[in-house]
Structure 1
Amino acid sequence: MRRFQQSLHTFAFTTLALLCSLPATAAELNNITAQQALFLMEQQKLSSVALVNYYLQQIEKNNQKGADLRAITDINRDAIKLATRLDKERKAGKIRGPLHGLPVVLKANIATKDGMPTTAGALALKGFLAKKDADLVTQLTAAGAVIIAKSNLSEWANFRGENSASGWSALGGQTKNPHKLSQSPCGSSSGSAVAVAADMTLLAVGTETDGSITCPASVNGIVGIKPTHGAVSGAGIIPIAASQDIAGPMTRTVSDAALLLQVLATDEAKSRYGDLTAAINEVQVKKVLLVRAFDGQFAAIKQMQDRVAQQLQQNGIVVEMLEQWQLPEQLSKDELTVLIYEFKRDLTQWLQESQVPAAVGSIDKIVAFNQKKGKAALAFYGQEYLQQAAAIDLEKDKAAYLQALNNSKQLAKAQLDPYLSQFDAILLPAYGPAWPIDHVKGDQFSFGTSTAAAVSGYPSITIPAGMDGQLPLGLSLVGKPWSEAKLLGLAALLEQQLPKRAIPELKP
């Protein structure tokens, strides 16, 4: 580990030098990190107003003009007012928390009472204003964050119907991958990922049920954390399924992701994690499993994996290779049974508690609303998942659901536990490179590796790890429950030594 300690020293020195030389004007804030922004604020060289205004200008420039990324659906009309208040507090010596003055974008399925609608991208919820902040929004505000906007998503978090194209919603249109505008941004946290990658926000929050943070982080070339299930409160988030839903950070660097997760975490999770911002400076991992099952599909993935193995070994970490990674078909079948049942149960409860308009106050009514609106609500693909959920009888179908829930958890853990009993982490290519946006065929995934961690509830951190031409490739680090601190230390090491994150050129 001595080499890594030396590299950390060099990294810290370089970072300090960079911070000291950073410009203080908003015009030169391109791709700044949270740590850099906070340093400049502490030195009174940057204000929250200037930082927020920079990102609002970036959104104005690239969201529906220029590259037409369609990553943002709504702007917080009070963002500058909030930033002004936070600047006054800082000047008076009052610091609310670790995000004081920093801008954050939220996925549009996360409730806020700030005048921005909470819609999940669905026409049925157009203009719906939540009466209460989601728990994580309360935590962000208490930590000093400025919620500047809400981001587009795959409608209903990609659980409306089959053959959908990720990043499309009836309200937000089609989000585009900033690295190549013809390619998919993946989803469902498409807008959050693209906003971060294209420098339209400093920090963002996404949500995942299976792959919705992992995949967009991978194909847009950013850092995404799917935390241990239960580590972040789901209260106030439009649900799919409580047994798998989880919110998490989407950022440009590992250190920024650690900072954001520290704020998003519940009190119980914080007690388990310790100081995540300190964890990035320590590598506790000694032995990892590197999955090579997808090397044959893309030469660039093989090159990425070769580089990952080499860098880890040079830092004294034992790397063992695994050539096969195949999930049992029954896992996918059981997972879908669980998601459909819990979608009926959990979305019904959310609709009732949130007091949405009576005309769309149940899943049956949403299905009928969509049918009545026709292509305006159901463009490009159907609403099979909504219809299947509407048909569920929560009492009669409960036994089959419980059996599928138990079986899916066992199968997912059986895929991970034998390896995690021997290794500190499992490293997998997250997803293949982004595919063309196709509103006829829908998403054309080559492969994805998010399911085992998603169903088991284990943590997964995805980092930029290479490129396939213009398209980013992501590496996912999976560990035991509550091992985020250990995974973050490993992710920070790899971030230093793998190719730097590619900055999108926003070209067709």
Structure 2
Amino acid sequence: MNHRILARPALALLLATTASAALAQQAGGDIVLRERPVPAIADTAAQIERIRTLDDAGPMLNAVIVYNPDAAAVAVTQTGKPLAGRTVMVKDNVETAEFPTTAGSLALKDNATGRDAPLIANLRKAGGVVLGKTNLSEWANIRSNDSTSGWSAVGGLTRNPFATDRNTCGSSSGSGAAIAAGFAWGAIGTETNGSIACPASINGLVGFKPSVGIVSRTHVVPISSTQDTAGPMTRTVYDAALLLTAIAGEDRADPVTLEAKRVADYTAGLDTASLKGVRIGVLRGATGSRADVKALFDTALEDLKRAGAELVDVEYSAPGELWAAALPVLLFELRVEMDKYLSTRPGTGGPRSLADVVAFNSANAATELRFFGQDLFEEALKTTDAAAYQKNLATLRRLTRAEGIDKLLADNTVSFLVAPTQGPAWSTDLVNGDNFNGRIGAGYLAAIAGYPHLTVPMGAVEGLPIGLSIMGAQWQDHAVLKAGAAYEKARTAVLPTPTFAPWKPAGE
């Protein structure tokens, strides 16, 4: 096993190899996974070969920072457990005992804590195999307003398997690209606001941001105590539910997990889930200005209706008060939580506070600050007014919960809210940064509220995937997953396949 994390492409030259295997997409879907055990050695060897040919060479997706070349030997020992040796990629802000956890920053390149985050310990107990760590938007995309999603100083730029000159979205960019490329069965992403949903949508995956508290955040490099959560990124809703079942659990070091209302098995009932008679709120105002995205959404709505759902148009527009409070809350929590995490890391050396990180970046500007700065970090150091923070947090909770999702569900007598997740992937531009376009999606409501949000592929625009968002009330994670599984069965859209090449118009 290689324990080193190196900048690309040197990693490819230093990782050990395993026996070669023919390239193959791992089979997915609930029926396949239920009816036969996963052939752990063959599948894992094939996944490693895909990493070697598509990530370390060829299009060089840069989705994977480090991997375990001996993972096949581990996988075969996990038969009889719920995950039965299925391989999982882990976003590199989640601690695993065998690899350093860098959050994409050179300041943490030696952050080998030797410990598993509780969610990883749960994963291993369930028979999951940590295949490697994935690249991410550095510091989970909270360093600067002018960032380029998918870039980190440690991992370089992650490329989109569907169009390698297009963005993978942040901050779980590597997790999204890795699963789209067939590098593992599933991945762990993390989200504060959109960082599971957006890369899952743009990479043609199922992504699930659970209610905050379903999954422990201990030993995960933090941003927000009220919004952060880890969650699964997979090819099917069943796989997402299976992975969530494995990683969920209480953690006394993370008190919000003690309040969560979980179910023992999130896959239960997915195969028979029905939308017949289910009232669903349609957030048409979140469709944005793109006619092509609207057309996909309209098709998805027709699929939902044909599956028996009753659709109800729901009007919603985020008040300016919400946006005025949102960033100050994140910056206050970022300073507090980052200081707490960094100051309690095992070992010596490296940053012990957010201020230390800012100083490191300034001292290493040629590598860390070449493409964008650290304005949000610097602003967070000045965001210290606790009374203002409490007032802003109360505003956010009111506007996204009592006067947000809870009110929309109750006033319209609907069980879920749906909208397009995000527009198509934009051209990556390290000079000018990200280009979110079309004012598409409403996932910020679920993110800020801490409520469940599922995205499921609903088609593509010019070969670029688009997801359907399904959001529900707090702790209604299982119900949201069942709704997603029912839509997945009813979906008529043709889904795209990765090209591993730069984008070009359809037919050319």
Aligning the two structures, in what range does the TM-score lie when normalised by the shorter sequence?
0.7 to 0.9
Q: Deviation string for 1:151-184 (max 9, x for gaps)? A: 0000000011121010000111111111111111
Query: Which residue number in structure 1 is paired with residue 327 of structure 2?
Result: 336
What is the distance in 1 between the residues matched to 2:30 and 2:50? 20
- SS of corresponding position for 2:460: strand
Do residues 462 (structure 1) and 462 (structure 2) align? no
Query: Which residue number in structure 2 is paired with residue 200 of structure 1?
Result: 183
Query: Which residue number in structure 1 is paired with residue 400 of structure 2?
Result: 412
What is the distance in 2 between the residues matched to 1:352 and 1:188? 24
Q: Structure 1 269/275 Cα, relative in aligned 2: closer, same or farther at 3 Å?
A: farther
What is the distance in 2 between the residues matched to 1:187 and 1:251? 16
What is the distance in 1 between the residues matched to 2:499 and 2:423? 21
Q: Deviation string for 1:67-99 (max 9, x for gaps)? A: 11111011125423422433xxx4xxxx2x311
What is the distance in 2 between the residues matched to 1:159 and 1:497? 37
Q: Structure 1 85/315 Cα, relative in aligned 2: closer, same or farther at 3 Å?
A: closer
Task: Decide which of 76, 79, 82 is 2:74's aligned counterpart.
Answer: 82
Query: Which residue number in structure 2 is paired with residue 191 of structure 1?
Result: 174
Query: Which residue number in structure 1 is paired with residue 102 of structure 2?
Result: 119
Query: Which residue number in structure 1 is paired with residue 375 of structure 2?
Result: 384
What is the distance in 2 between the residues matched to 1:108 and 1:373? 21
Query: Bigger CA drift: 46-55 or 157-166?
Result: 46-55
What is the distance in 2 between the residues matched to 1:236 and 1:389? 21
Deviation, structure 1 residue 360: 1.6
Give the TM-score taking structure 2 as reference length: 0.88
What is the distance in 2 between the residues matched to 1:192 and 1:316? 34
- SS of corresponding position for 1:381: coil
Q: Structure 1 26/357 Cα, relative in aligned 2: closer, same or farther at 3 Å?
A: same
Query: Bigger CA drift: 422-431 or 382-391?
Result: 382-391
Query: Given residue 492 of structure 1, which amino acid in structure 2 is its aligned partner?
Result: A
Query: Which residue number in structure 1 is paired with residue 266 of structure 2?
Result: 276
Name the structure where helix makes up a greater proportion of residues.
1
Query: Which residue number in structure 2 is paired with residue 507 of structure 1?
Result: 501
Do residues 98 (structure 1) and 82 (structure 2) align? yes
Query: Given residue 98 of structure 1, which amino acid in structure 2 is its aligned partner?
Result: P
**Is the CA contact (8 Å cut-off) linking 2:135 and 2:152 kept in structure 1?**
yes
What is the distance in 2 between the residues matched to 1:453 and 1:122? 28
What is the distance in 2 between the residues matched to 1:331 and 1:463? 27
Deviation, structure 1 residue 316: 2.1
Query: Which residue number in structure 1 is paired with residue 244 of structure 2?
Result: 261
Deviation, structure 1 residue 307: 1.3
**Is the CA contact (8 Å cut-off) linking 2:287 and 2:420 kept in structure 1?**
no
Q: Deviation string for 1:93-149 (max 9, x for gaps)? A: xx2x311211000000000111x1100000101132023110000000000111011
What is the distance in 2 between the residues matched to 1:479 and 1:164? 30
Do residues 65 (structure 1) and 57 (structure 2) align? yes
Do residues 425 (structure 1) and 447 (structure 2) align? no
Query: Given residue 27 of structure 1, which amino acid in structure 2 is its aligned partner?
Result: A
What is the distance in 1 between the residues matched to 2:286 and 2:398? 24
Query: Bigger CA drift: 244-253 or 64-73?
Result: 64-73
What is the distance in 1 between the residues matched to 2:331 and 2:260? 31
What is the distance in 1 between the residues matched to 2:93 and 2:214? 18
Task: Decide which of 211, 216, 225 is 1:233's aligned counterpart.
Answer: 216
What is the distance in 2 between the residues matched to 1:372 and 1:423? 53
What is the distance in 2 between the residues matched to 1:295 and 1:206? 25
Query: Bigger CA drift: 491-500 or 102-111?
Result: 491-500
Q: Structure 1 336/145 Cα, relative in aligned 2: closer, same or farther at 3 Å?
A: same
- SS of corresponding position for 1:27: coil
Deviation, structure 1 residue 379: 1.8
Do residues 144 (structure 1) and 130 (structure 2) align? no
Uncovered stretches (5+) of structure 1, i.e. residues with no partner: 1-24
Query: Given residue 206 of structure 2, which amino acid in structure 1 is its aligned partner?
Result: V
Query: Which residue number in structure 2 is paired with residue 291 of structure 1?
Result: 283
Q: Structure 1 283/158 Cα, relative in aligned 2: closer, same or farther at 3 Å?
A: same
Query: Given residue 83 of structure 2, which amino acid in structure 1 is its aligned partner?
Result: L
What is the distance in 2 between the residues matched to 1:74 and 1:387? 30
What is the distance in 2 between the residues matched to 1:182 and 1:329? 35
What is the distance in 2 between the residues matched to 1:36 and 1:55? 21
Q: Structure 1 320/84 Cα, relative in aligned 2: closer, same or farther at 3 Å?
A: closer
What is the distance in 2 between the residues matched to 1:105 and 1:74? 10
Deviation, structure 1 residue 432: 1.3
- SS of corresponding position for 1:278: coil
**Is the CA contact (8 Å cut-off) linking 2:75 and 2:84 kept in structure 1?**
no
Query: Given residue 367 of structure 1, which amino acid in structure 2 is its aligned partner?
Result: V
Q: Structure 1 270/359 Cα, relative in aligned 2: closer, same or farther at 3 Å?
A: closer
Query: Given residue 477 of structure 1, which amino acid in structure 2 is its aligned partner?
Result: I
1:140-179 paired onto structure 2 within 5 Å: 140-179=123-162
What is the distance in 1 between the residues matched to 2:335 and 2:406? 31
1:419-498 paired onto structure 2 within 5 Å: 419-421=408-410, 422-446=413-437, 447=439, 448-498=441-491
Deviation, structure 1 residue 297: 1.5
**Is the CA contact (8 Å cut-off) linking 1:178 and 1:506 kept in structure 2?**
yes
What is the distance in 2 between the residues matched to 1:348 and 1:77? 34
Identical aligned residues as a percent: 37
Query: Bigger CA drift: 380-389 or 326-335?
Result: 326-335
Q: Structure 1 26/425 Cα, relative in aligned 2: closer, same or farther at 3 Å?
A: farther
**Is the CA contact (8 Å cut-off) linking 2:24 and 2:47 kept in structure 1?**
no
Query: Which residue number in structure 2 is paired with residue 350 of structure 1?
Result: 341
Q: Structure 1 225/182 Cα, relative in aligned 2: closer, same or farther at 3 Å?
A: same
- SS of corresponding position for 1:131: coil
**Is the CA contact (8 Å cut-off) linking 1:273 and 1:483 kept in structure 2?**
no
